[in-house]
Amino acid sequence: MQNVIPRRKKTVREIDVQGKRVLVRADFNVPLDEEGAIADDTRIRASLPTIRYLCERGARVILCSHLDRPKGEIVERLRLALVANRLSELLDQPVVALRDCIGPEVESAVAAMNDGDIILLENLRFHSEERADDSPFAERLAGLADVYVNDAFGASHRAHASVVGVPQHLPAVTGLLLEREVSAFTRILEKPERPFAAVIGGAKVSDKLEVLDNVISRVNLLLIGGGMAATFLASRGYQTGASRVETDRLDDVRRIEANAGRRGVRLILPRDVVVAERLEAGAPTRVVSATEIPDGWIIADIGPGAADEFSRELGNVRTVVWNGPMGVFEIPEFAEGTRRVAAALANLRGTTVIGGGSTTDAVQRFGLADEMTHVSTGGGAALTMLAGKALPGVEALDDAETP
């Protein structure tokens, strides 16, 4: 087993920010609708505690973030002005959106700031140097500020210039959101209240293999759902219809099951599944035993019997981490299994951690996010921590002083 984060990092609460220029790496990579408007402002709202904390203490706040994947080119619909407008509404104070993230105009705007002011730099990924972790680019960003604060959990698994390059040039600390995210995952992986369960779903085993290898050494119960269940079923010799089976991962799955058996971990697969002719709304569906999936049909969700069993099992644990939906929940016909698991966690008298990405989308869609102990803002970063690996963006920050 690996330690998720071996050393405690200094936080924004441990430094003096009065009158300082503070560069905050936020995660404003929000989804946009077809008209280019913000479809979900969860990540923007999650950044507010750190921004307010800095403003209340007289910092000059310089926000930076990426949005989507413009691949080093200026894409008008991906400018961060729309984020600045939303921040202005939520903070009830002006947030000035700049048209670039480096250069003379940016430097002039920063020089004109007063204590408590907020500016937002333009989309970092308009510069290809951001993803390349280009040292001169990182140095130019760092030159805008006196202090660096990483509050972008959702980007901290990336070794990009604004994430790992800038901390080489400035005092660098965690923001309140990043601190909370890291603490939530560290606590459940290192010191969970038991029984401890993991619910792992999603489309592919290969996406979660490192997570499965790590959590199997920590949990008492492992529940498997989603499309990845097909590979587990196939590893036991069952027919899986037209469901996608990762044949190159069958030995890995058998190894995980054997490891679970040696450790006394109960690994439960769906006893029944909802299958469909196509993963589309309105497609014909059936509920069948997971061991009797007909030819040509695809697993689209766990079945009602599996949902009953998963809910009953989860009612007996004290800590749960969930990553990956139980089915194609975006389509109503295939959403019930994911909804049932979310409802079971919402009613749990214990600690519930939702591992970002589509799992976070699901609990929000079902209106249950507020019932969870922690709902992560970062899918890839959450997977990295669940795999027992350190986050580059956290490792780059200053260590806390030892007492």
Q: Tell me which residue of 125, 23, 38 sits closest to 90, measured CA to CA.
A: 38
Gap between the Cα atoms of 89 and 157, Å rounded: 30
CA distance 372 to 366: 12
Residue 178 annotated as binding site: no
The yes-or-no answer on residue 116 being catalytic is: no
Distance from C-alpha of 245 to C-alpha of 108, rounded to nearest angstrom: 56
125 labelled binding-site residue: yes
DSSP sequence for 278-337: SSSTT--EEEEETT-BPTT-EEEEE-HHHHHHHHHHHTT-SEEEEES-SS-TTSGGG-HH
**165 flagged as catalytic:** no
The reply, when asked if residue 170 is annotated as ligand binding, is: no
Consecutive H or E run containing 19: none
99 carries a ligand binding annotation: no
252 is in an annotated binding site: no
Beta strands in 205-297 (DSSP E): 221-224, 266-268, 272-276, 285-289
Residue 151 has a CB neighbour count (10 Å cut-off) of 30
Closest CA to 127 of 106, 110, 147: 106
Please enumerate in sequence order all residues whose Cβ is within 8 A of that of 307, keeping only pairs 6 or more positions apart, or say none.
326, 336, 337, 340, 341
Is residue 158 marked as binding?
A: yes
Q: Return the DSSP state at 8.
A: P
Binding residue per annotation — 157? no
State yes or no: 29 annotated in a binding site: yes
* Residue 255 marked in a binding site: no
Q: 374 labelled as ligand-binding?
A: no
Told to judge if 355 belongs to the known catalytic residues of this protein, a careful annotator would answer: no
77 labeled part of a ligand binding site: no
Please name which of 210, 251, 256, 213 lies closest in space to residue 234, comparing C-alpha atoms.
251
357 carries an active-site annotation:
yes
User: Annotated binding residue at 153?
Assistant: no
Q: Which of 58, 116, 143, 380 is catalytic?
A: 380
Calpha distance 65→309 (Å, rounded)? 42
Which of 355, 357, 379, 388 is catalytic? The answer is 357
195: cis peptide before it, omega within 30°? yes
> Which position among 204, 255, 318, 389 bears the catalytic label?
204
Catalytic annotation, pick one of 9, 43, 57, 140: 43
Catalytic residues: 43, 204, 357, 380
Annotated binding site for substrate: 27-29, 43, 66-69, 125, 158
- Binding-site residues from annotation for ATP: 208, 330
Which residues belong to the annotated binding site? 27-29, 43, 66-69, 125, 158, 208, 330
